[in-house]
Chains A and B, each alone.
Chain A
Amino acid sequence: DAGVIQSPRHEVTEMGQEVTLRCKPISGHDYLFWYRQTMMRGLELLIYFNNNVPIDDSGMPEDRFSAKMPNASFSTLKIQPSEPRDSAVYFCASSSFSGGRALVQFFGPGTRLTVL
């Protein structure tokens, strides 16, 4: 069974450019999460979706960040315009929820973003 798939794995861009990160969750999972990881701030939750609907976007740092989930098998995280401080590893994760309990989140391989 395929795990969470992310693309691209590496992205190098220049300040001011638009960046789009993509994620395909594990089939059957109804929750999808976008995280950002840096040395300084650790692993931060940016936004998460349930059944394709955004539930909590309080972690999105600025209006330059936006995320969509048009269907159960695809999500995007867009940064426009990008800035050097956006350089980080961006992870997508998916999970289910059962009996009032959060279940295991499975992480994708991540996208390493470098903004010059």
Chain B
Amino acid sequence: QKEVEQNSGPLSVPEGAIASLNCTYSDRGSQSFFWYRQYSGKSPELIMFIYSNGDKEDGRFTAQLNKASQYVSLLIRDSQPSDSATYLCAVSLSGGYNKLIFGAGTRLAVHP
């Protein structure tokens, strides 16, 4: 059974701080990695995707991938109360399947 693990939180950070969200996965052949944000009562929406080892930056968000360690993270700089949500890590299944395995999500709370 392929797995994606995240700390459920809540992760509480003060406004303006850096929030660091982490995810580990078991499928060594995974090629695609995604971070989704889900507000309470809403559907998941894409924040970042990353395919290659290293960092990928988009505004206040940075995704980091380390395939050797099977680890992907999301950094949110200058955290705002509006960033308070659940963040879902999703990893593609290897073998050419267009199927994602989702983690249970980390709840982030940014307090003023």
Chain A: residues with Cβ within 8 Å of the partner, total of 21
Q: What mask results when residues 94 to 106 of chain B are scored 1 for a CB within 8 Å of chain A, else 0?
A: 0011111011110
Given contacts A31-B98, A107-B44, contact A102 B92 (CB under 8 A): yes
Q: What mask results when residues 75 to 112 of chain B are scored 1 for a CB within 8 Å of chain A, else 0?
A: 00000000000001010110011111011110000000
* In the assembled complex, A70 has its CB within 8 A of some CB on chain B: no
Q: Are B31 and A106 interface neighbours, CB within 8 A?
A: no
- Which of B34, B44, B51, B98 has the most C-beta atoms of chain A within 10 angstroms of its own C-beta? B98
CB-CB nearest in chain B for A4: B43
Q: Which residues of the other chain, A, contact B96 by a CB distance below 8 angstroms?
A: 100
Contact residues of B: prevailing secondary structure: loop
Contact count band on B: 20 to 34
Given contacts A42-B105, A43-B88, contact A102 B44 (CB under 8 A): no
* In the assembled complex, B32 has its CB within 8 A of some CB on chain A: yes
- Which of A56, A95, A101 has the most C-beta atoms of chain B within 10 angstroms of its own C-beta? A101
Q: Are A107 and B32 interface neighbours, CB within 8 A?
A: no
The answer, among A31, A42, A102, for a CB contact under 8 Å with B32, is A102
Bound form: Cα–Cα A50–B96 in Å? 13
Give, as a whole number of angstroms, the nearest-CB distance from A97 to chain B: 4
Give, as a whole number of angstroms, the nearest-CB distance from A14 to chain B: 24
A-B contacts besides A43-B44, A109-B42, 6 pairs, CB < 8 Å = A45-B102, A91-B43, A101-B31, A102-B93, A107-B43, A108-B43
A contact residues vs B (CB 8 Å cutoff)? 31, 42-43, 45, 48, 50, 56, 91, 95, 97, 100-110
B contact residues vs A (CB 8 Å cutoff)? 31-32, 34, 42-46, 49, 51, 88, 90, 92-93, 96-100, 102-105
